[in-house]
Amino acid sequence: MSRASRLALAVAASVLVSWLAAAPPASAKTQFFAYDGPNAVREGGGGAKKVVDGVEFWIDGAPPHRFQILGSIQDARLRGGILGAISMSNLEHDIARRARAAGGDAVILSDAHDHVFAEVGSSVGGFSIGGGGFGGSVGFGEPIARHTSLYTVVRYLPDAPQGPSEPPPILAPPVPPPAGR
């Protein structure tokens, strides 16, 4: 095996080991907190949404019809490495499942952020064998972060009547034509 092949194999192995090492247990913690307070019934103005597993995800704005706030879902999971990528790919499915279990029809994204607390990586540097020189280095790094998101869970309500309803107009009975004509 040539030096270049051995170097390529060493770099590939180093990258694989680093990527796996950057994958701490990808445990997700998804909790529902019931809402208890005034102003639970609201109406939004619309915005950007998508549907995941039958649950509407309002990413920007709120549903343009009446809804009741049921509570909030807070989700925290690790992001990084192979297991973190798998965990993040299930985020919206986990939120949809939890929202349905709480009786919700939709969720409104309130907050999402990452907190990077470490970076794991490796590098392979230049070396020299028997007087011949080879220079260069290859590096790889993977940030380890905790992704936290907060969603408001809502249930859709029937639209409220638009103002007082007016009674139907009263029609006078038909007037018969005069007699004798």
Report CA torsion sign: 115, 116, 118, 121: positive
pLDDT of residue 24: 46
Question: What pTM did the predictor assign?
Answer: 0.65
Which sequence spans correspond to the domains of the chain?
A: 25-127+136-156
The residues with which 2 forms a beta bridge, in sequence order, are none
Q: pLDDT of 119-144, one tens digit each?
A: 766 665 655 555 555 555 666 677 77
pLDDT at position 48: 97
Quote the mean pLDDT of the chain: 80
Q: How many CA atoms lie within 13 A of 103 on its CB side?
A: 11
Q: Are 153 and 57 in contact (CB under 8 A)?
A: no
